[in-house]
Chain A
Amino acid sequence: MRSWIILVELAFSIILLTFFFLYTYYGKSNNYNIYTFDPNNLIYLNSSCNNNLYIYEIINLTNNNITICYFGKQVNSTYIQNHEPIFEYLYAGQNYFNPYILIIFG
């Protein structure tokens, strides 16, 4: 009798874990770029972190500097470990030619 209960519990946890697996597998890959950002509206985001609406990362390609802004505050990469990138764009520069990658996290 006891072994039957264990079997049922195991089967139940397998079902749960399978759903978790499917969720991580499909959920993550489909969420990306669901949000339609207009790149023209995001060109003002820069490495001075003066925007407190977004969590974003700027990779400056001329000097390879990486800046992470967390709602207007400059932080290190540990702050964004649990966030997913939802938008990515390679800008040519703002006032002068200075290519950088912008990644917005959700």
Chain B
Amino acid sequence: MKSQYILLATIAIIIILSFITYYNISPIKNINPNLIGENFKDQIIYTYQNFGYNYISNYTLYFQNYTKYINYNFSFICISSYNLSIPACNGNNINCCYYFNGYFFVNQSILKYCNENFILYNPPNWICFCYNVNNSNSYYVNFFCI
């Protein structure tokens, strides 16, 4: 009789666990970080080409809120010859931009996530992003210039 109670209790626990997982696994939490990263890159390029550079900071803001909402950490460093209205980088802050006139030496310590070392020589229009998307399981890092 005692073992039957144990079995009944086990069944009850499994049923409860099943329901909890059935309703709690939010598939939104399982998006591949690569897809989120590519989403950012493609839409920044799309925004620049179709709506102009002054919409880029607006998009990054929406993107930051979106990634927070789906439980991902997202951060970026950008380098630009335009003023994109993203806060300028100083010290160790993230989600910021380096604005420059003339030439700009980019080294790894500036970009934090990306292993890039190069010099931008007084280009007319440079917008580069180094960004990082991660959750507890995986991460995605990428660098691109428009």
| A90 & B66 in contact (Cβ 8 Å cutoff) | yes
Query: Range of interface residues on chain A?
Result: 20 to 34
Asked if B8 and A10 make an inter-chain contact with CB atoms under 8 angstroms apart, the answer reads yes
Contacts of B42 in A (CB 8 A): 39
Would you call A66 an interface residue if the criterion is a C-beta within 8 Å of the partner chain's C-beta atoms?
A: no
Whether B25 pairs with A92 at a CB distance below 8 angstroms is no
User: CA of A62 to CA of B47 in the docked complex: distance in angstroms?
Assistant: 16
A17 within 8 A of B: yes
> Looking at the complex, which one of A3, A14, A32, A92 makes contact with B11 (CB distance below 8 Å)?
A14
A71 at the interface (CB under 8 A from B): no
State whether A90 touches B63 (Cβ < 8 A): yes
Given A10-B11, A33-B31, are A92 and B4 neighbors across the interface (CB < 8 Å)? no
B3 touches A7 (CB 8 A): yes
Checking A25, A29, A90 against B62 with a beta-carbon cut-off of 8 angstroms, the contacting residue is: A90
Hey, which bits of chain A sit against chain B, CB under 8 A?
A: 3, 6-7, 10-11, 13-14, 17-18, 20-21, 24-25, 28-29, 31-33, 39, 61, 84-86, 88-93, 96-97, 99, 101
